[in-house]
Structure 1
Amino acid sequence: MQRYPMTPEGKIALEKELQQLKSVERPRITQAIAEAREHGDLKENAEYHAAREQQGFCEGRIQDIEGKLGAAQVIDVKDLEKNGRVVFGVTVTIENLDTEEQKTYKIVGDDEADFKINKISVNSPIARGLLGKNEGDDAKIQTPQGEVEYEIVKVDYL
C-alpha cells in the first residue's frame, strides 16, 4: 500500500474538505438532480447532465480523500530531532549561489503543495535535491533553466 506523507495541517485540511463534500456538496447536488428530473425528458436536460457530472466529480473526490487519509503517514517535524537536516515538513531557506537570492520553502505532501505560498511538494525537484542535506551544505538542483547551485542557509522545524 502506498503511503501519503502529510503534515498535521495537511491532514486537517483534507478532513475539512471531506466534511464539506459530504455534508454540503453531496446534498446540494442530490437536490439539483431531483429538481432537474422534475423538468421532464432527461435526454435533452442539460441541468440534469451537469448535476450528474458534478455528482461524479464529488464522489470521486470523496473516494480520493478517503483513500489518502486511510494511507496517510502524518509526520510532525516538531517531534523530530532538530539537527539541521532537511527532512519532510521542515521550512528551509536556500540561497542561489549565482544571484545571492534567498527563498524560503516548506516541504509538504503533494496535496498540500502551493508554490504561491512557498509550500513545495516533497516530490518536486527542489525538495528532492534538498532532502537529506544539512544546514550549510550546497545542493545542485536541475531546473528548466539548467542546473542551479543553492546553499542551505537555515532549516526550521516549525
Structure 2
Amino acid sequence: MTTYPMTAEGAKTLREELEQLKTVDRPRIINAIAEAREHGDLKENAEYHAAREQQSFCEGRIQDIEGKLSNAQIIDVTKLQNTGKVVFGTTVTFINVDSDEETTYRIVGDDEANIKKGLISVNSPIARGLIGKELDDIVSIHTPAGVVEVEISEVEYK
C-alpha cells in the first residue's frame, strides 16, 4: 500500500470537510430526497433527480476523503528541528539569481497544493528541485519555461 505525505493542517482540513459532509450535507440531501419523493412521479421529478445527483457526489467525496486519510502519512514539520534543510512541509523563501525576485512557497501534499496561497505540491518541479537542499544553496530548478537558478534565503519549519 502506498502512503501519501500530508501536512497536519491538510489532514485537519480534510477531517473537517468529512465531518461537514457526514453530519450536515448528507442529512440535508436525504431530507431533500424524501421531500421530492412526496411530489409524486419520480420519472419527471427534477428535484428528486437533482437531490440524487447531490447524494452521489456527496457519497463519492466521503469515500475519496476517507481513502486519502487512510493512506496519508501525516508529517508535522513543527515537531522537527530546524536544520536549514528543505523537507516536506517547510516554507521556503528563495531569490531568483537573474531577476532578484523573491518567492515563498510551502511544500505540501498533492491535495493541499494551491499556488495562489503559496502552497506547492511536493511533486512539482520547484519542490523537487528544492527538497534536500539547504539554506544559502544555489539551486537549478528545471521548469517548463527552462532552467531557473535560485538561492535559498530562508527555510522555516512552521
Q: Give TM-score, length-normalised by structure 2.
A: 0.94
1:142 aligns with 2:142: yes
Give the letter aligned to residue 118 of structure 1. G
Residue 103 of structure 2 corresponds to: 103
State the shift of 1:103 in Å: 0.7
Superposed displacement of residue 6, structure 1: 1.1
Match of 1:16 in 2: 16
What are the residue-to-residue correspondences of 1:1-158 with 2, within 5 Å? 1-158=1-158
Deviation at residue 121 of structure 1 after TM alignment: 1.2
Structure 1, unpaired ranges of 5+:
none
- Show structure 1 runs of 4+ deviating over 4 A: none
Q: Percent identity?
A: 67
- Following superposition, the deviation at residue 122 of structure 1 comes to 1.0
TM-superposed deviation, 1:59 = 0.5
Structure 2 unmatched ranges of 5 or more: none
Between the aligned partners of 1:41 and 1:139, the Cα distance in structure 2 is 66
Q: CA deviation at 1:55?
A: 0.7
Q: Shift in Å at residue 100 of structure 1?
A: 0.5
Deviation at 1:85, TM superposition (A): 0.8
**In structure 1, the residue corresponding to 2:112 is in which secondary structure?**
coil
Q: Distance in 2 between matches of 1:10 and 1:49?
A: 33
Partners of 2:134 and 2:124 in 1: CA distance = 18
